[in-house]
């Protein structure tokens, strides 16, 4: 019997092919095995972000799940945008999901709105912003808390809440993150675009339509 030539091109190609197939199979198996856990972690992270916008923080997994179930009463799509109806201390709060673009990548967030059209709370996230600068939209709770109490809409339902370099109207404006003007501009643009669907009249009309559908 001839000895296997491990230095031949045929042997190397066959060996490499078998190795690639085995590794690919193992990766696919691990991915499928871990996917339910990954999906659960993503869903939990979303719930925590919504709770952050409601000024509810520092809860672990089980506590966050329980609190979310307690305060979030309904979830719906308004023109492709997630809107959550919540109740905190018998006060109804509407949480609006938002997505936009920062300097280096996507940004997102949740804004909690009181019945009078002012901000109850805010939370912002990012995919890849500069640490210590643009990343502060996520990392700085103090900056997020600057939104609390700000007026969102004017009398005609136009979005007046904004992020600016120099605050001239403390009722509607939040100063931008120091050294992160472009990321702050991205947050401002996101607010303007995404809050259009949260106008009090439109939200009320959507809720009315939902109630009518339930009655039918």
- Angle among Cα 121, 156, 172 to the nearest 5 degrees reads 35
pTM here is: 0.77
pLDDT tens digits along 84-118 = 999 999 999 999 999 999 888 899 999 999 999 99
CA separation for the pair 86, 68 (Å, rounded): 9
127 Cβ contact list (under 8 Å, min separation 6): 102, 104, 105, 106, 107
Best-predicted range by mean pLDDT (11-15, 30-34, 117-121): 117-121
Question: What would the two tokens of residue 38 be?
Answer: 């990954």
How much is the mean pLDDT over the chain? Answer: 86
Res. 140: pLDDT tops 80: yes
Taking alpha carbons only, the member of 171, 162, 197 closest to residue 81 is 197
Query: What average pLDDT does this structure show over 74-89?
Result: 91
């Amino acid at each position: 019997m001839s000895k296997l030539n491990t230095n031949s091109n045929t042997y190397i190609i066959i060996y490499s092919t078998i190795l690639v197939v085995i590794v690919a199979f193992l990766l696919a198996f691990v991915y499928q095995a871990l996917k339910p856990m990954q999906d659960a972690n993503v869903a939990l992270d979303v719930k925590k972000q919504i709770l952050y916008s409601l000024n509810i923080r520092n809860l672990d997994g089980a506590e966050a799940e329980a609190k979310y179930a307690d305060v979030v009463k309904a979830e719906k799509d308004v023109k492709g945008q997630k809107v959550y109806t919540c109740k905190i201390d018998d006060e109804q709060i509407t949480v609006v999901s938002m997505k936009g673009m920062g300097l280096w990548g996507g940004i997102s967030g949740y804004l909690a709105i009181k019945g009078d059209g002012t901000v109850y709370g805010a939370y912002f996230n990012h995919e890849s912003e500069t640490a210590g600068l643009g990343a502060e939209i996520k990392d700085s709770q103090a900056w997020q808390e600057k939104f609390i109490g700000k007026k969102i809409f004017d009398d005609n339902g136009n979005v007046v809440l904004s992020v600016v370099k120099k605050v001239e109207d403390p009722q509607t404006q939040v100063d931008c993150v120091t050294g992160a003007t472009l990321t702050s501009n991205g947050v401002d643009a996101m607010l303007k675009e995404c809050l259009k669907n949260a106008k009090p009249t439109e939200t009320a009309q959507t809720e009315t339509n939902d109630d009518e559908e339930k009655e039918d």
